[in-house]
Every structure is written in C-alpha cells, then in structure tokens.
Amino acid sequence: MNTSGYISRIFGTSPVRPLQKHMDKAAKCAHKLPKLIKASYQGDWNRAAAAREKIVLLEHAADDLKRDLRLSLPKSLLMPVSRTDVLDMLSRQDRIANRAKDISGLIMGRRIVFPAPIQTAYLEFLERNLDAVTQARKSVHELDTLYESGFRGAEADLVVEMIDELSRLEDQSDELQIKLRASLFAIERDLHAVDVMFLYKVIDRTGDLGDMAQRVGSRLHMMIAR
Amino acid sequence: MEQAIFYIILAALFALFMAWGIGANDVANAMAPSVGSKAITIKQAIIIAAIFEFAGAVLAGGGVTSTIRRGIVDASLLSGQPELLIYGMLSALLAAGVWLLIASRFGWPVSTTHTIIGAVVGFAAIGIGVSAVHWPQVGRIAMSWVISPVIAGVMAWLLFMSVQRLILHRDNPLKYARRYVPGYMFLAGFFMTWVTVDKGLAHVGLDFSTLQANLLALLVGGLVTAVGTFFMLRIPYQEPQKREFHFVTVERIFGILMVITACCMAFAHGSNDVANAVGPAAAVISVAMSGDVTQDAIVPIWILIIGGIGIVIGLATYGHRVIATVGQNITALTPSRGFAAGLAAAATIVMASGTGLPISTTHTVVGAILGVGLAGGIAAINLRVVGSIFMSWVITVPAGAALAVVFFLLMRALL
C-alpha cells in the first residue's frame, strides 16, 4: 500500500535552505581569496595553487547546488515570493563564486603579484568587499524568519536595515577602489604595461564581488517590498 | 429470519472492513496538518485520532449516515423487493472497499466519499433504474464537493491573514501570540461544539434547544481555552532583546493550539467519513430487520459504534505507520500554518456533517492548505499535484459505480 499519503506530495521543496546553502558556498569560495593573494605576495605559488584549487572546487559545488535548486522549482509552484525572484537571486549569488574563480584564475595564470607599495591597500580593499559578501550572506540567512513572518513587520524592517548596512559597505569599498586605482596610477610608469593592464582588471573584478553582494541584497529588498 | 441475520452480519462485516480502510489510510490525510507541524508526536496524534474519530463518528456521524442510507436511492420503488436494496448497498460497500484498496496500492489520491457515492448511485441507476436515484440530492452532494474545498480555503486564508495581522507582523510577536492565541482556542472549541450540538446530535436521538446548544458551546469553548491557556502559560515568556523575535517560542504557543485543532480535525473526520462505511450498512440492517424499505427510524447508534471501532482498529493496525510517514514528509507546515489549515478544514467538514452532506476530507484539507498558501504562509505548494488531487473524482466516481454494478449483478444472480 501507499504509505506516503498524497497530501505530503503537494508540498514542493522550499527554496530557502537551498538558497542559503548556495550562498554559504559562494561566500566561502570568495573568502579563500586572501589566502591566495597572501601566498602570491610571498611568491609561494604552491600554496597559491592549493588555494586556487579550493576556490575551483567550491565554485563547482555552488554550481551543483544552483542546478539542483533550479530543477526543484517547477513552474507549477505556488510560493510567497515569485519564482523569478528566487531564480534571479540564485544567479546573483552564483556570480560571486564565479568572480572569485575569475580572480584566482587571472592571478595564477599570469603569476600576478601586486607591487609592494599597494599590497596592503589591495588586501584591505579585498577584505572590504568580502565584508559585503558576508553581510549579504547574513541577510540571506534571515530568509527563514522572513518566511515565518510573511515578509512583513518587524523582521522585514530588520532585513531592510541589514541591506542598508550592505550598501554602506559597498560604498566604502568603492572609495577604497578609487584610492587604490590612484596609487596604482602613480606608479604605473615604472611597471610593465601588460602587467598594469591586468592589475587594473583584478581590481575591477575584486570590486565586482562587493557589487554582486549588493545586488543579492537588492533582490532580497525587492522580495520584501513587493 | 435466518436470511436477515445473514445480511446483517454481512453488512456489519463489510462496514467494519471499510471503516478499517478509512482508519488505515484516510485518517492520515485528515491528521496531516497536525502531524506535519510536529506540534504533537506521532503517538499523541494516534491517541487523539482514536478518541476523537470515535467520538465524531458516534456523536455527529448520524446526519451523513442517513443521507447515504436513504437520501440517494428512492426506496419506494423497491417496496416489492427489499432484497434489491440489500444487494445494492452490500455491493456498494464491497465496490468502495475494493476500489480504495486498488487505489491505495498504486498511491492514487482517491476519496472514500467519492467512491461510496459513486457506488450507491451506480447500483441504483444501472441496477434498478435511472429514476431510482434522487438526482437533486446527488446534485447537492456533487455541488458540495466543489464548494467545500473553496469554503475551507477561504476560511484558512482568513484565519492565517488574521494570525499575520494580529501576531506575526507585530514588533513583539511573542507578546501578541500570548494575547490572541487563547481567542483562537475559544473559537475552535465553541464552533465545533456548537455545530455538533445544534446539528449532529439530533441524529442520535438527543435534541437540544438553541439556547442549550449555545450555553454548552460556550462552556466547552471556555473549558478548552482554560486548559489551553494553562499549558500556554507554562511556556516561559522572554522580553525580546534587540533583533530577536522569538518565533520559535511563538510556534510553541501555536503548538498548543495545534493540539486542539488536531482533536477538532479527528472529530470532524469521524463525523463525516465514518458514514461512508456505516450508511450503506445501516440501510441493509434496517431493511433486513423490518423487511420494509421505507421505514424511517433514526440511525441505530450501535452501527455508528461499529464504524468508530473499525476506524480505531485501522489506525492501530496500519494507520499509525501512514501517519508517521506523512508526518515526516510534511515539514512545510509550522504550527501557525497547520492550525489555520486544520481548523478551517475541521470547521468546514463538521458543518457539512451537520447538514448531512458527505464531502471529501482530503479535498477539504487540500483546499485549506491552498488557502494558507495563497496568504503567503507556505514556502512552496505544487499546484500540479493539487490539480491532480482535485481531478481524481472524475475517475473515482465512475470506477466506484462500475464496480458496484458488477457486484450488484453478481449478487442478484448468486444469492
């Protein structure tokens, strides 16, 4: 006999846990970057390669989670948030992992080492972007409580505050990026031209991390504001 | 006379068999919102189900039983040959039992109510003649199948919206949960008692005046609220710190409400679904005892008791496992959601029982869950599965009818 009871079949998979797990993976992936950068500063390319490998693995793991969640969200689902919101949020989260992989690939591929005068400034800039990623991850972890409260009330206010904080972090990272570019500009004449091009590229991609984190937050904001 | 005793024993056995099937399979669907929310343990769910299914069957099961017994078939056409009604009702029971067994074997979402109504209409229309069916009554029943999930859905939607407005959206949900949950407790106790006393008990020979019904409902509602509040106050209250909403504690408070809802649901299910087994048996027994198809006595209470016992045996032998699996598979319903769905479904079903309308418990529960979903309470509901459950009666009614006709023709030839 059938023991599952057909009523249990009307419940689809809640996207909350998978979204959070995916965000955890993406954030973890990005947070491996400082290790790689520090190894590059010391010229320890073995350790850098190990960090790069971890980043690639985590990016793949995030991809798998992304695929699973997409498959578990058929069009016939009735959800308190729209399917588009969930899927869009997912792809924004995924871009964080992708960017981290890009950056690690650039650095490893060309053995890029930041010039000594701007090494600390770059690390600080990277950390600030990672702070934004962490803040986005925390906001995504409020999804349980948001679902519980029906996306309104005091809990929604709290999440809006968290997203505001995320924007502030992003603003700070933008300022750091401007300063970092200025410092690089000041010394670029003494460096190899192609290397300089790629340094700018790495800085750009690093800034993207914070951007993506902020976009995750703004999608969350849209879910609440609906 | 020996013939009559044979028929009575056969009818009681068939009724017991079908009630067993209902207890084994159907109760799990009725209890789904309660066990899914994890507010009660599986063991508690089974004990609650056993007690309240039985109480519902005996106290409020009379209305629907008499509808199935003599509301559908125009017995006056059969006054010359009462054995035809006996064969028909026996074959309807057998057909429903067999069809439900097949359906559960394959996991099809079928309703016991749809099967038994299809079977009774089938044997009457084809075995005796189209004019032997009270079509207006059948029409009313079919209408109620469409309306009951809608009513349950709207009620669940309203209940859950009120929970959000009054409690979940507040700055301090815990404080407001403690303030308003006793109100919902009262609502549940009052409404269920009021409908039962006002409508259901007449069929078992007890008649209360409206005033008495109101007073009794007030009393039961007050009692339920008092006991519920006592347990609620044992849950410690924490003043919320910054950025804490204590939703876990809020859900524990709703958990107490969920226990009350589970009782209501088991009671409602017993009051409506036991009639599916007992109604045809009651028809057989009354004809066999009197030899007359048109007599108009109330439903003998011992038949309702047999139905209640059958359900409890079904629960004890098989149903507890189904309930356990359903409980593990449904994680989406927290007590605040499960309560809204469960209470709306229970209220709809007990109202239908009071009016004597046999409705599908499963469909009503699904309608109520959908209502909570539309209010934004459930993370994900698979509408395709919902659709297939709602459409299942399109196959179930003819299947029950066809099987009943086959059994009817066999019995007429053999007995």
- This complex has an ipTM of 0.84
CB atoms A11 and B322 under 8 Å: no
pLDDT at B242 over 90: no
- Say what the pLDDT of residue B241 is: 65
Cβ neighbours of A145 in B, within 8 Å: 245, 247
Closest CB to A11 among B169, B330, B374? B330
CB atoms A78 and B383 under 8 Å: yes
Q: Which residue has the higher pLDDT, B78 or A21?
A: A21
Q: Which residue has the higher pLDDT, A81 or B332?
A: A81
Closest CB to A145 among B106, B245, B378? B245
Distance of residue B1 Cα from the nearest chain A Cα, in angstroms: 39
Q: Which of residues 134-153 of A touch B (CB under 8 A)?
A: 145, 147-153
Query: What is the value of pTM for the model shown?
Result: 0.90
Could you report the per-residue pLDDT of B82-108, keeping only the tens digit for each?
A: 888 889 999 999 999 888 888 877 777
Could you report the per-residue pLDDT of A26-51, keeping only the tens digit for each?
A: 999 999 999 999 999 999 999 999 99
Interface size between A and B, measured as CB pairs under 8 A: 138
pLDDT at A75 over 90: no
What pLDDT band is residue A1 in, cutting at 50, 70 and 90?
A: very low
Distance of residue A15 Cα from the nearest chain B Cα, in angstroms: 7
| SS3 label, residue B133 | strand
Interface probe, candidates B101, B250, B382, B390, chain A, greatest A C-beta count within 10 A: B382
CB atoms B382 and A80 under 8 Å: no
Q: Which of residues 377-406 of B touch A (CB under 8 A)?
A: 377-386, 389
What pLDDT band is residue B393 in, cutting at 50, 70 and 90?
A: confident
Could you report the per-residue pLDDT of B141-165, keeping only the tens digit for each?
A: 999 999 999 999 999 999 999 999 9
- Say what the pLDDT of residue B236 is: 83
Interface check for B265 against chain A (CB to CB < 8 A): the answer is no
Q: Which residue has the higher pLDDT, A23 or B110?
A: A23
* Chain A residue with the nearest C-alpha to that of B321: A3
Task: Return the minimum-mean-pLDDT range out of A76-90, A97-111, B53-67.
Answer: B53-67
pLDDT at A107 over 90: yes
Q: Which residue has the higher pLDDT, B238 or A11?
A: A11
Interface check for B332 against chain A (CB to CB < 8 A): the answer is yes
Interface check for B325 against chain A (CB to CB < 8 A): the answer is yes
- Give me chain B's average pLDDT, please: 87
pLDDT at A4 over 60: no
- Which phi and psi angles does A77 have, rounded to 5°? -85, 140
Task: Return the minimum-mean-pLDDT range out of A47-56, A109-118, B28-37, B216-225.
Answer: B28-37
DSSP codes joined into one string, B66-120: HIIIIISB-GGGGTT-HHHHHHHHHHHHHHHHHHHHHHHHHT----HHHHHHHHH
Mean pLDDT score, B352-372 = 92
Is residue A56 a contact partner of residue A33, using CB atoms and an 8 Å limit?
no
Cβ neighbours of A153 in B, within 8 Å: 168-171, 173
DSSP codes joined into one string, chain A: ---S-GGGGGB---SHHHHHHHHHHHHHHHTTHHHHHHHHHTT-HHHHHHHHHHHHHHHHHHHHHHHHHHHT--TTEE-SS-HHHHHHHHHHHHHHHHHHHHHHHHHHHHT----GGGHHHHHHHHHHHHHHHHHHHHHHTTHHHHHHHTS-HHHHHHHHHHHHHHHHHHHHHHHHHHHHHHHHHHHGGGS-HHHHHHHHHHHHHHHHHHHHHHHHHHHHHHHHH-
What pLDDT band is residue B200 in, cutting at 50, 70 and 90?
A: low
pLDDT at A96 over 80: yes
pLDDT at B69 over 90: no
Cβ neighbours of B386 in A, within 8 Å: 10
Cβ neighbours of B384 in A, within 8 Å: 74, 76
pLDDT at B333 over 90: no
* Cβ neighbours of A123 (radius 10 Å): 16
